[in-house]
């Protein structure tokens, strides 16, 4: 699999799926295709299609629909988060207004569902409509619990499932559906994607506290200064002594960088989360050993090694 050529074909497929009727929609289409990103979800779908030797005519469309749903969720996220920039560029909300951003996200979802309907596979439709539902529910839960020190690990898991893991699961499950696999196998593929999505999000949360901005591509301690209770904070709360645990909300509210980093080091939070991520990666790699060696499989294994 040539990644550069694959991304180009994904982008050309996105271009064909997004039907623009107004000038503003042409601008949204251009923004969506040129916004960058690694196209992780569509590539994941295509890798699993290759592993299963699936050459279904709709695989490129389904792959691109995963990216459309992701792009729509980012448009909505940026409005909810009042974000002015993403990947160093102005958000749609900053350029055209938040109302336009919300409607643009809805428009992208509609384009994706319209094209998915043409594929004519009810199992695929069920898979992706569930993802859209999960995204909406998780956003509502996140809004309800944002900056709330009483958030539990269970609530956090529900949020990242809907915001991240569910779509990863659909990317892998849909490959099994297109390949004509039975429901039991499709479920296993979905579980692979969900686990990968969970790892992906927790690793992203980890970067906020332990990787500088130049390396990670995101502002160092941005989540902390936004007073968000992300995974490192929740793990710290689990392992900290009673006094330190009690002080965590005060430290977050005060924005005391030195103190929060001191506690992270004191309780080895980086090592604890990294070990958990490694365990998850081992589980994913063990799953892949059941399938024949292919270039696409080797590519995925390499990317998993990079996560560890």
CA distances 92 to 32, 86, 136, 282, Å, are 10, 9, 19, 39
Angle at 252 between CA 251 and CA 256, to 5 degrees: 55
CA distances 61 to 11, 14, 277, Å, are 11, 8, 31
Give the chain's domains with CATH numbers.
3-307 (1.10.600.10)
Our CA dihedral for 119, 124, 130, 133, rounded to 10 degrees, sits at: -20
Residues of the chain with pLDDT under 50: none
pLDDT at 247: 97
CA distances 183 to 39, 127, 138, 253, Å, are 26, 12, 26, 47
Phi and psi, residue 181, nearest 5°: -75, 155
pTM for the structure as a whole? 0.93
Sequence-ordered list of residues with C-beta below 8 angstroms from that of 21, at least 6 positions apart, any chain: none
3-state secondary structure of 86: strand
Helices and strands in the chain: count of H runs, count of E runs = 17, 2
Q: Of 75, 82, 81, whose CA–CA distance to 100 is shortest?
A: 75
pLDDT at 21: 76
pLDDT at 73: 92
pLDDT at 217: 61
Length of the chain: 308
pLDDT at 213: 62
Strand ranges in the chain using DSSP code E only, listed in sequence order: 85-86, 89-90
């Amino acid at each position: 699999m040539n990644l550069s050529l694959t991304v180009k074909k994904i982008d050309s497929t996105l271009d064909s799926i997004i039907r623009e009727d107004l000038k503003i929609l042409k601008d949204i289409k251009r923004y969506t295709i040129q916004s960058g990103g690694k196209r992780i979800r569509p590539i994941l779908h295509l890798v699993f299609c290759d592993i299963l030797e699936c050459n279904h005519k709709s695989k490129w469309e389904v792959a691109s629909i995963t990216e459309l749903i992701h792009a729509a969720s980012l448009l909505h996220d940026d409005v909810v988060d009042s974000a002015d920039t993403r990947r160093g560029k102005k958000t749609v909300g900053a350029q055209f207004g938040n109302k336009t951003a919300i409607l643009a996200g809805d428009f992208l979802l509609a384009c994706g569902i319209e094209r998915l309907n043409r594929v004519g596979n009810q199992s695929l439709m069920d898979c992706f409509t569930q993802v859209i539902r999960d995204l909406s529910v998780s956003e509502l839960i996140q809004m309800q619990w944002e900056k709330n020190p009483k958030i539990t690990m269970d609530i956090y898991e529900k949020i990242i499932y809907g915001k991240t893991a569910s779509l990863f699961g659909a990317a892998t499950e849909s490959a099994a559906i297109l390949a004509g696999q039975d429901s039991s196998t499709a479920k296993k593929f979905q579980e692979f994607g969900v686990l990968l999505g969970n790892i992906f999000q927790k690793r992203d949360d980890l970067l906020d506290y332990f990787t500088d901005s130049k390396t990670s591509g995101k502002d160092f301690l941005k989540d902390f200064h936004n007073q968000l209770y992300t995974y490192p904070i929740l793990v710290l709360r689990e392992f900290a002594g009673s006094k330190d645990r009690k002080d965590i909300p005060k430290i977050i509210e005060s924005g005391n960088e030195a103190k929060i980093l001191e506690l992270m080091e004191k309780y080895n939070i980086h090592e604890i989360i990294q070990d958990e991520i490694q365990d998850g990666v081992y589980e994913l790699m063990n799953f892949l050993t059941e399938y024949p060696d292919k270039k696409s499989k080797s590519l995925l294994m390499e990317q998993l090694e990079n996560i560890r």
